[in-house]
Amino acid sequence: MNVLLEVMLLLAPQSKAALDPEASALADLERRSGRVVRQQEQEPANQELPPLEFKEEGSSFIDFDWLEMQPRVGMAIFSDDYHIDASPSFGVQFRAPMTCLSPGSNPHGEYFGVFAEADAMFIERTIRVDDPKGVALLLTFGFDYSLFRDGTWLLMIRGGAQYATYGGVSDLEDGFGAVAGLSIGLTLSRSLSLTLCPEMVFGQAGDNIILGYAGMVIEF
């Protein structure tokens, strides 16, 4: 009897997921790019195919099921009016896709997104002031748009508003400014990518800060 059961188990068809260990990764790629990349199984010519259906996932506005975290390090370059040399900078960004703005052809695709980031840098003024040194903190909130994203490359633009505080350094006023940035990414695995992220911070009276970051995107 045991021999008969073992033979039946060996002859039983395996599940599609078991035979195709890359199915999950391919499904992720289809979701991001809106293109069908999986090979279709041969169907009888006279069999009518069922209509395509999209499974509702996550929030109808922001899909936090696809939250991404991006730790990063780099340099900050200040305009002349700051009187601050190039300074080391580090930060972290969190981003999630806005599924409500995805096109009907790919309703779960990552086209628009919302992000929040926090950055810190050690600064020292090159002119004589009472308190020349401190830690500047930048808090940013904004939106992004994926110009291109597939299983290997990412090209994204983003913009938002930022609040900067200069940690008590003399003659620097805390305040708000606009931010514009670009992300170029190279995918290493299903949940890990390397990125280059230049940003421009537009402050008051023509002052600006250029941030150059290298980091990694970790997808949960």
> What are the structural domains of the chain?
64-219 (2.40.160.20)
The whole-angstrom separation of Cα 72 and Cα 86 is 17
State residue 198's pLDDT score.
95
Supply the DSSP string of 82-122, one letter for each residue: G-B--EEEEEEEEEEE-GGGS-TTSTT--SEEEEEEEEEEE
Q: Which portions of the chain are predicted below pLDDT 50? A: 3-5, 7, 9, 11-19, 21, 40-43, 49, 52-59
CB count within 10 Å of CB 81 equals 12
173, 35 in Cβ contact below 8 A? no
Give pLDDT tens digits for 134-165: 999 999 999 999 988 888 999 999 999 999 99
State residue 25's pLDDT score.
56
State residue 9's pLDDT score.
47
DSSP-based three-state secondary structure for 65: helix
50, 74 in Cβ contact below 8 A? no
185, 154 in Cβ contact below 8 A? yes
State residue 15's pLDDT score.
43
